Structure 1
Amino acid sequence: MARNVEFNEQLAVSKAMDVFWRKGYNGTTMRDLTEAMGINSSSLYNTIGDKHELFVRSLKHYTESRMQAALKQLDPIKSPIKAIDKFIQSSVYVITNEPNSCLAIKTTFEVATNDEQVQKIIKADNDFTYNLLNGLVEKAIQKGEITVSQDAAMLTDYIINHFSGWHESFIIHKDKTRIKNMATFLLKQITQ
């Protein structure tokens, strides 16, 4: 029986995440959340807490899901540069096909600057991405798949910093080709 309550709570958090993703933290009302989750406000307060706690859980759900998906997608790829390419292409796909952009990036600018708890989640997500890519860059350098530099940390920062710019560009211009071209150019830059 307890398992059903946990599943329902997870499903409710997932539904709330979709609302926060679409409307942002500040644009989301308690009514938006309770309607999406199919519960009344007293049930929300009794099981999960307030809007902020629900947002924190939603953000954790979002970031942890992304982490698991990245590991699952990249693990079978034996070539580090091919795994980096897959990560970049997957990022391009998300940027150009997600109707609500990236919840982590949106949250960074909307909430994380003034909220330590949210900032901690965003930092953990960023650290995961950095460590994953840095490990791949190090392996690619060791295998001679990357020769442009021996500084894996700098190359990792160089790759990651492109993602925020691509999100911004796509939000403004809605030009998939532009983002794909920038990704192709980035990969050429690191594999010279």
Structure 2
Amino acid sequence: MARNREFNEQEAIKRAMDVFWKKGYNGASMRDLTDAMQINSSSLYNSIGDKHKLFVKCIQNYTEERMKEAKAHASQAKTPLKAIVNFIQDSVNTILYSNNSCLAIKTTFEVAANDSAIQAILKSDADKTHSLLAELIIKAREQKEIDSEEDPETIADFIMNAFTGWYESYILYQNPVKIKKMAKYLITRISQ
């Protein structure tokens, strides 16, 4: 007869994700993770696997949840341009006011260059985000909210790359006014 799991795996993954957010992949020890998850190391190895497999699950979970939220939020906007503006403002709020900021960007800088599994998850997430933005930009062009001469792919690339720069800028300078000004400039450029 199979043993029942002694913990809620989804809840444990969320707790582990908090550790990775705070300490990064390299800074998080197995002890940090198992303490946060409130399980012993044998339970972790038997149910999820090693630290890397846990990290992959955390990043996968994070990117899937973030995309669900982004799509839901975009579908509630009154116009495509408003959905884009909300997306930009949500990113600013995450950078400035979230305790954990963006785990995908943090992971890209720390791990993705040397980890093909993580790189694949983050690339898929970036592709989905790019597609969502490009679709909204196309709809905004159709509704004459954005200049029809503008290339949706380039605008989507520009928006996504701005987020990474803002994240870096905020880490280095801790200047919310600077981030808000850059966001305002980006929104103005898109909606001209």
Both proteins in one fold, TM over 0.5: yes
Matched position secondary structure for 2:145: coil
Q: Which residue of 2 aligns with 1:51?
A: 51
Query: CA contact under 8 A between 2:7 and 2:39: conserved in structure 1?
Result: no
Please say if residues 81 and 137 of structure 2, whose CA atoms lie closer than 8 Å, have aligned partners that are also in contact. yes
User: Which residue number corresponds to residue 108 of structure 1?
Assistant: 108
In structure 2, what is the Cα distance between the partners aligned to 1:182 and 1:171?
A: 15
Identical columns (%): 55
Partner Cα separation in structure 2 for residue 102 and residue 17 of structure 1? 12
1:189 is matched by which residue type in structure 2?
Answer: R
Q: Which residue does 2:184 correspond to in 1?
A: 184
Following superposition of structure 1 onto structure 2, how do residues 66-145 of structure 1 map, counting pairs within 5 Å? 66-145=66-145
Normalised by the length of structure 2, the TM-score is 0.94
Structure 1 130/79 Cα, relative in aligned 2: closer, same or farther at 3 Å? same
2:22 partner amino acid: R
User: Kindly tell me: are residues 114 and 184 of structure 1, through their superposed partners in 2, closer, same or farther at Cα, counting changes over 3 Å?
Assistant: same
Would you say the 8 A contact 2:16–2:33 is kept in 1?
yes
CA contact (8 A) 1:34 1:40 kept: yes
SS of 1:78's equivalent in the other structure is coil
The root-mean-square deviation of aligned C-alpha atoms, in Å, is 1.6
Instruction: Give the AA of the match of 1:30.
Output: M
Partner Cα distance (2:81, 2:7) in 1: 38
> 1:149-160 counterparts in 2 under 5 A?
149-160=149-160
Q: CA deviation at 1:176?
A: 1.3
CA contact (8 A) 1:148 1:190 kept: no
CA separation of 1:6/1:89 partners in 2, compared to 1, >3 Å: closer, same or farther? farther
Give the distance between the partners of 1:23 and 1:138, measured in 2 at CA.
39
Give the total of aligned pairs: 190
- TM-superposed deviation, 1:148: 7.0
Q: 1:102, CA displacement in angstroms?
A: 1.3
Runs of 4+ residues over 3 Å off in structure 1? 4-7
Residue in 2 that maps onto 1:42? 42
AA in 2 matched with 1:12: A
Q: Equivalent residue of 2:8, what SS?
A: helix
Q: Describe the superposition over 1:5-51 as per-residue Cα deviations: whole angstroms up to 9, x where unpaired.
A: 49701110110011001100000000000000001111110111000
